[in-house]
Amino acid sequence: MTIRSQKDLEVALSRLKSFENPSWKLEQYPTPSPIAAEWIWNMALRREVAGRAFLDAGCGAGILGMGLLLMGARVAYFLDQDEQAMQICKDNYISLKKEYEIGEANFMVHDIQLFDGEVDIVAQNPPFGTKNEHADRKFLEKAFEVASVVYSMHKYSTKSFVEAMCKDYKFKITQVWKYEFPLKKTFAFHRKPVTTVEVGLWRMEQT
C-alpha cells in the first residue's frame, strides 16, 4: 500500500493504537490524526521528509514518527520515558510494517536530555506545561541542539516563551500554524467530554 493523499495519511494514522493508561503527570494527550496528517503532509510538500532522519521526542504512541515514516523518512527515533507508551509505539510500527514499506525505527525509553544523537529534523508535541510550567523547555533545548530544523507544538498562549527560546538558541521562526486541539475527557479532574485548547505548531530553523 502507498499513501497518495493527506486523507490517506490521516486514515492510516487514525488506525494506530493510542494510550491505554495515559499519565496526567506526563500530560499524555495524543496528537489527533487530522492535525498530525496535515502537519506531516505540509512537511512533505516542502520536501523535508523523504530520505531524512527524525526525532519524535516525547513520542507517546508515535503518531508523528509513524506519519513521517509513511511519507518516506529514512529513520525515525522514537523517544519517551514511559515504557508502556513505548510498547504501544513498537506495536504500531510492527503493524505498519505489515502494510507499508517504511524506513527504520529506533525506540528509546529515557529522558529527552539523555538523547545524544543527531538528526535532520525534530518533530515533537511535548507536554504543554499545564501541570509543570514550561515542561516543554527541555524538549526545545534538546531539539535546538540536535537538529537545524525543528517543528514543535505548544499552547499558543506560550507564544512569547517559544519566541524567546528561539532567540536564545539562534533559531528563527519561519511559520506558525494554529489549531484547536481537542482534549478528550481522560482523567477524573476533567469536567467536559471534550475541551479544546488553542495550540501553535512552530517551524523553526537555525540561523
For residue 50, being part of any structural domain is answered with yes
Element spanning 55, H or E: strand 53-57
For residue 180, being part of any structural domain is answered with yes
Check pLDDT > 90 for residue 169. yes
pLDDT at position 191 is 56
Distance from C-alpha of 207 to C-alpha of 205, rounded to nearest angstrom: 6
pLDDT at position 182 is 85
Check pLDDT > 50 for residue 149. yes
For residue 91, being part of any structural domain is answered with yes
For residue 13, being part of any structural domain is answered with yes
Residue 112 identity (one-letter amino acid):
I
Distance from C-alpha of 36 to C-alpha of 193, rounded to nearest angstrom: 22
List C-alpha distances in Å: 85 to 1, 81, 129, 186: 26, 8, 19, 16
Report the CATH number that the domain containing residue 159 is assigned in CATH.
3.40.50.150
Which of helix, strand or coil describes residue 200? strand
How many Cα atoms within 13 Å fall on the side-chain side of residue 192?
6
Please give the mean pLDDT across all residues of the chain: 91
For 98, counting Cβ atoms within 10 Å of its Cβ (0-12 exposed, 13-18 middle, 19+ buried), the class is: exposed
DSSP states of 132-187: STTTTHHHHHHHHHH-SEEEEEEEGGGHHHHHHHHHHTTEEEEEEEEEEEEEES-S
pLDDT at position 1 is 74
pLDDT at position 131 is 62
For residue 74, being part of any structural domain is answered with yes
DSSP 21: S
Distance from C-alpha of 190 to C-alpha of 184, rounded to nearest angstrom: 8
Its domain, for residue 82, covers 6-206
pLDDT at position 25 is 58
* pLDDT tens-place string over residues 99-134: 999 999 999 999 999 999 999 999 999 987 656 667
DSSP states of 78-130: EE-S-HHHHHHHHHHHHHHHHHS---EEEEE-S-GGG-----SEEEE----SS
For residue 1, being part of any structural domain is answered with no
pLDDT at position 23 is 53
Of the pLDDT bands very low, low, confident and very high (cuts 50, 70, 90), residue 183 is confident
Q: How many domains does the chain contain in total?
A: 1
Of the pLDDT bands very low, low, confident and very high (cuts 50, 70, 90), residue 187 is very low
